[in-house]
Structure 1
């Protein structure tokens, strides 16, 4: 199977590192320094304190990529429109682009460009941290679940490739509960770690942080219930804290964005809860405050005082 991973950040690179052992994989990303490092010296991945290296192809220019049956979309939400254009160029006529992105709304953006028949939803709980150009860390080996639509045999084929590479994976006919379950976990972890400047595990071990996690997660659960969503989480607060503990050393994607002064995905994570809450008449003051704080962090990045 030929696979393109569109977005070679932390998550895309960790997935590419593993799949390269069982498939023909091409990483596509606009970060030239990262791409050059991978092509020059391979992709390095830190797994359980052991550094490993694989050789695979990476490029900033999708025009030279051979057609692929599957494209995995792992960019940040702000790059989804770009990823859709890349996917349109590299997919075979019967190919599918699976979004593994955070938040809500990415599949809809992809569908506008590609058509619903070429867009699949996937949910992953893999943890990954970008350590530098050509260098990533696997921070949590959580499962990835692919939606059975729009092409069942491709969903099973890519799930098989994940499992063959050592990454747990499955196929589901109903991802709505999983999508919202991941959203709620991200609601509880991403913005708080970005604001507090702490790895995920600190949220599970600090009483004040645990209290904040509870408040924002409970708001998100109330919104999901009002929307008629049957969640995949039995105890959302406890399971969010468990994910934080299981990925204790990981820097959340939003923390990584804030540390380098890049735009975050706050609008598609906590912002999605605020918008849905407004539509459904469910108050979300804690999530609204987190959205404002992260927006302020982004806007004041050039003025930040260094320790």
Structure 2
């Protein structure tokens, strides 16, 4: 099957690396990065192993049957605009809530992947796989008949993927958890495992509770799942720096607006308390601009 991955970042390259053994894979890069990536190639590292990803590097959508969007939330609209003539299946994999409000009328088959796997971009075109996590796929527009076909395109080299009938809840769940882990770890320059120290863990719990209430006010039925998933992610990625802190260390833009910013706006619409989300939104943006 011909598949294009938009976004040669950490997760995008893990996805490409899980596809290249059974499919014809292309990775779409920005024109300014094309020559460097073409010269060096695309690589994935795991522990002491490093292998080249068997993928063609392109700058325009080709005749693929599936396009996977694996860009940061702030680049999502730009990536979607590349698909105005594309009629195949679309899979979106990213943080935040922005994908729930996209206009993708050009495609009948739209899916989302939600994952808690760990990966770090160590160099341009190189990703280091840091550990598996819960990975689920579901339809964003109620396409169910072809879900097994989509699941089967991925090998099990780096992660196992399962199906969910409620991808919206999975998207919200990850956003709620990320709304606590990412800004707190970033603000205090912590590895994920350090968040279990009591002086930080109570901050995580407070922010999780507020974000959970925002989700519930928007019709998402949560019990104690955010707390359980936060503990699971922190345990499995204890030695990792979260993606937001990695971006800050590299001087890159973060997804704070697409996570805590959107939660703040959605909470305001429901007249739910958003004090902590707004506080960390301001603090992270101030940190970036300092």
TM-score normalised by length of structure 1? 0.86
Instruction: Tell me, yes or no, if the aligned pair for 1:107 and 1:121 is still in contact at 8 Å.
Output: no
SS at match of 1:161: coil
- State how far apart, in whole Å, the 2-side matches of 1:230 and 1:106 are: 19
SS at match of 2:154: helix
Is 1:258 the counterpart of 2:254 in the alignment? no
Aligned length: 289
Instruction: Tell me, yes or no, if the aligned pair for 1:127 and 1:142 is still in contact at 8 Å.
Output: yes
Structure 1 residue 173 displacement after superposition: 2.2
Matches within 5 A, 1:88-99: 88-89=84-85, 91=86, 93=87, 95-99=88-92
- State how far apart, in whole Å, the 1-side matches of 2:25 and 2:202 are: 42
Gaps of 5+ in 2: none
SS at match of 1:87: coil
Find the counterpart in structure 2 of residue 279 from structure 1.
269
- State how far apart, in whole Å, the 2-side matches of 1:151 and 1:68 are: 19
Find the counterpart in structure 2 of residue 104 from structure 1.
97
Find the counterpart in structure 1 of residue 162 from structure 2.
170
Find the counterpart in structure 2 of residue 14 from structure 1.
14
Root-mean-square deviation (Å) = 2.2
Instruction: Tell me, yes or no, if the aligned pair for 1:87 and 1:97 is still in contact at 8 Å.
Output: no
Find the counterpart in structure 1 of residue 77 from structure 2.
81
Gaps of 5+ in 1: 301-307
Q: 4+ runs of 1 displaced by more than 4 Å?
A: 35-38, 163-166
Matches within 5 A, 1:122-271: 122-148=113-139, 149-204=141-196, 206-231=197-222, 234-271=224-261
Task: Point out the structure with the larger helix share.
Answer: 1
Question: Which is further off, 117-126 or 6-15?
Answer: 117-126
Structure 1 residue 37 displacement after superposition: 5.0
SS at match of 1:88: coil
TM-score normalised by length of structure 2? 0.90
